């Protein structure tokens, strides 16, 4: 059975980590606006490059992001959507282009979010995500090439959390008010969180 899953959560809640696991487990696409924008950060648009917004911790303008999501969902036979919608206007657009089977909010405290983002490292060759405390690679060659995401610097993290509270929390409330939202406690080791998500999706 194909699944159409929306995974919501604050920056650092573990959306990327869990989306990859879910995509592998169910053989569906991982549709992530963050990765798509990072892969095209110097693309010229009428609003400027995605990079200029991302490195400031601001949202990339809706028309750019909406188009990325529309194309990706059209091509997908089942998906887990991560990083979108981030404001009510994107939520409205999403409801016009697809139905959803599950809307899940990964709940993580702000203190934990800041620790996760500060310790996150990325392998520029594979895109694999690690953490200096929770998930450090054994291979020394990999360790040496890990980089910190530009928007994981402390000031930018603070701005991303502010933008999340202002723009994205209303999206969470919107789904909660409609009775569509399932909330999952995201403060546990990744494999435990994954089991909780599977229980929701399969239950
Ligand atoms: P995006 O890439 O979507 O960033 P985000 O939402 O801020 O989410 P993150 O990738 O920071 O966190 P995550 O929840 O995926 O956590 P992860 O699994 O990596 O967006 C970046 C930017 O792009 C935005 O600021 C904006 O500019 C732009 N953008 C994107 N979408 C947009 C949209 N729709 N509209 C407009 N602009 C958009 O985990 C974090 C760390 O914690 C990792 O190190 C991981 O190893 C560790 N970790 C994960 N799970 C656990 C666990 N259970 N226990 C301990 N550690 C864990």
Name the residue of 9, 12, 52 whose CB sits within 8 Å of the most ligand 1 atoms, as the mutation to test its pocket: 12
pLDDT at 130 over 80: yes
**Three-state DSSP class for 14?**
coil
Q: Which two tokens stand for residue 117?
A: 């983002």
- 66-94 per-position pLDDT tens digit: 999 999 999 999 999 999 999 999 999 99
C-alpha to C-alpha distances, 86 to 25, 155, 190, 196, nearest whole angstrom: 25, 20, 23, 23
Q: What pLDDT, on the 0 to 100 scale, is given for residue 1?
A: 66
Instruction: Report whether 12 belongs to an annotated binding site.
Output: yes
Q: Are 25 and 113 in contact (CB under 8 A)?
A: no
Instruction: Report whether 78 belongs to an annotated binding site.
Output: no
Mean residue pLDDT across the chain: 96
Can you tell me which atom of ligand 1 is nearest the CA of 135?
A: 46
Closest CA to 135 of 119, 151, 124: 119
- 32-79 per-position pLDDT tens digit: 999 999 999 999 999 999 999 999 999 999 999 999 999 999 999 999
Task: Parse the chain into domains and list their residue ranges.
Answer: 4-109+169-202
Instruction: Report whether 6 belongs to an annotated binding site.
Output: no
The set of residues, in sequence order, having a beta carbon less than 8 Å from that of 151 and lying 6+ positions away, is: 54, 55, 57, 157, 160
Q: Which two tokens stand for residue 12?
A: 């650092």
Confidence of residue 149 (pLDDT cuts 50, 70, 90): very high
Confidence of residue 203 (pLDDT cuts 50, 70, 90): confident
Q: What pLDDT, on the 0 to 100 scale, is given for residue 2?
A: 76
Name the residue of 55, 83, 94 whose CB sits within 8 Å of the most ligand 1 atoms, as the mutation to test its pocket: 83
Which residue reads 């996150």 in tokens?
120
Q: What pLDDT, on the 0 to 100 scale, is given for residue 47?
A: 95
Instruction: Give me the CATH topology for the region 4-109+169-202.
Output: Rossmann fold (3.40.50)
pLDDT at 14 over 90: yes
**C-alpha 184 to ligand 1 mean position (Å):** 17
Q: Are 4 and 101 in contact (CB under 8 A)?
A: yes
DSSP string, 97-108: H---SEEEEEE-
């Amino acid at each position: 059975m194909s699944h159409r899953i929306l995974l919501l959560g604050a920056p650092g809640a573990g959306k990327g980590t869990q989306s990859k696991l879910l995509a592998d487990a169910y053989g569906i696409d991982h549709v992530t606006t963050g990765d798509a924008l990072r892969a095209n950060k110097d693309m010229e648009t009428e609003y400027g490059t995605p990079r200029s917004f991302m490195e400031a911790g601001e949202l990339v303008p809706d028309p750019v992001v909406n188009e990325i999501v529309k194309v990706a969902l059209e091509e997908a036979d089942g998906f887990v959507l991560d990083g979108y919608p981030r404001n009510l206007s994107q939520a409205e657009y999403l409801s016009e282009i697809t139905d959803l089977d599950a809307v899940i909010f990964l709940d993580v405290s702000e203190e934990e979010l800041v620790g996760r983002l500060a310790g996150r490292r990325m392998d520029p060759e594979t895109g694999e995500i690690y953490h200096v405390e929770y998930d450090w690679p054994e291979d020394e060659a990999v360790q040496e090439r890990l980089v910190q995401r530009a928007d994981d610097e402390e000031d930018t993290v603070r701005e991303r959390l502010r933008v999340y509270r202002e723009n994205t929390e209303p999206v969470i409330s919107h789904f909660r008010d409609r009775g569509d939202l399932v909330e999952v406690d995201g403060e546990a080791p990744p494999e435990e969180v994954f089991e909780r998500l599977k229980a929701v999706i399969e239950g």
